[in-house]
Structure 1
Amino acid sequence: MQNMPTEIARGTRLRNAFNKETFVFSGPLDHADVARFGVILEKGGSGGGNALVHVHPGADEHFAVKCGRIKVVVDGREQLVEAGGTAVVPRGRPHFFANAGDGNAVLEISFTPAQQHLRFFANFATLAVRQPAWFSSAGDPNFLLIALVLHTYRDHLYLAGVPIWLQKLLFAVLAPVARLRGYRMAIQPLGEALAQAGAGLAA
């Protein structure tokens, strides 16, 4: 499975059929300050970590709704956001979001600081398209895949309700098992991607 190049062609779309969620990517993967991409949620669609309640320990997540209506659930409290509205999920707060209207919801999501959230979400979206067998019929990634991705992109996303230190330990143990079982990343974090590029040039 090849890594995605550093630049994504403007308007690239990756649809997660499980969640009825389409990611719209453009521009660089590695902006230092903000990670920003578009999301289209179809009717009944949900988004964010494959719709699992999760936290981002190192970044605030911003939602700007362009069309339609979404609900953002933070700490179990639901907020409806209409077209033209915005919402912010502070870092470390458990949350998920979903379409709350009868048509498509179009929104822009950004993370500050950027970390490597755009690579992270582009990775999951790519895997959902290329490797649907790695996901359940409900769209949940296999737990070994979760372990591999969340260990590879440490401090970007964790499941809510479980101590982060325990998840780090568990994912570190399971990530090698996931590789042995054939799971692979579609897009490596920046440091690893640069290292692989250098190895390729040396060869």
Structure 2
Amino acid sequence: MSTESARGTRLRNAFNKETFVFCGLLDNRDIARFGVILENGGSGGGNALVHVHPCADEHFSVRSGRVKFVVDGREQVVEAGGSVTVPRGRSHYFANAGDGHAELEVSFTPAQQHLRFFANFVTLTMKQPKWFSGAGDPNVLLIALVLHEYRDHMYLAGVPIWLQKLLFAVLAPIARLAGYRLAIEPLREAPVPARSGFAG
């Protein structure tokens, strides 16, 4: 994928009814910002898997609808105009809590390569649906490959990160041998400096 995406580029994960809205640079070292649209019954964070981002704070601004956030096991429903910040390392997931669509703006600070990470994952659901269960859960080898290549971006909650890193490092080469590939590879060098342009 180009490091520049057209304003309003949309990628939909049909499994968890979540659409990402990208624009501007995919690579920005300061902040990663994009839009998310959750359909009725839609969830964020990979089918509402409880997860952590160990090296970045995540900020959510609800633009429309109602969204349920569960952070460290505590649930809150946020209406349009409200916001939630999840500090790095805190377990969380979010889901649509209303009857219609909900729209959010999501940002990560620092950016790391979260735009590439999410664009990669949703592109895989579109291009390689056979790598996911009927419920949308990715094959364990695919999880290992993605989370190993994008290390320190996201991990499953409840399992020590050092153990996940060790397991994913062992399984990632097996995943490649089995034919799994990333749709968008991480950069091997630092992202470019900040520039305006975000999801809208």
Structure 2 counterpart of 1:27: 24
Residue segments in structure 1 that go unaligned for 5+ positions in a row: 195-203
**C-alpha contact 2:16 2:46 (8 A) present in aligned 1:** no
SS in 1 for 2:105: strand
- Residue in 2 that maps onto 1:121: 118
Q: CA deviation at 1:51?
A: 2.2
Among candidates 177, 181, 193, match of residue 184 of structure 1: 181
**2:84 is equivalent to residue 107 of structure 1:** no
Amino acid at match of 1:51: A
Shift of 1:187: 0.6
Which amino acid is 2:106 matched to?
A: I
Using the size of structure 2 for normalisation, the TM-score is 0.93
Could you say which residue in structure 1 is the equivalent of 2:14? 17
Cα drift, residue 190 of structure 1: 1.3
CA RMSD of aligned residues (A): 1.3
Shift of 1:49: 3.2
Who is 1:197 aligned against? none
- Amino acid in structure 2 at the alignment position of 1:106: E
| Alpha carbons of structure 1 residues 179 and 192: separation in structure 2 relative to 1, 3 Å | farther
2:139 matched residue in structure 1: 142
User: Secondary structure at 1:84's aligned position in 2?
Assistant: coil
* Separation (CA, whole Å) in 2 of partners of 1:147 and 1:162: 14
TM-score scaled to structure 1, two decimals?
0.92
Task: Say how many residue pairs are matched.
Answer: 191
Distance verdict in 2 for CA 1:140–1:192, change over 3 Å:
farther
CA distance in 1, matches of 2:84, 2:180: 35
Q: 2:33 corresponds to which letter in structure 1? A: R
Identity of aligned residues (%): 80
List per-residue Cα deviations over 1:152-178 (Å, max 9, x = no partner): 000000000100000000000000000
Q: Within 2, Cα distance between the matches of 1:135 and 1:89?
A: 27
Q: Select which of 141, 148, 151 maps to 1:151.
A: 148
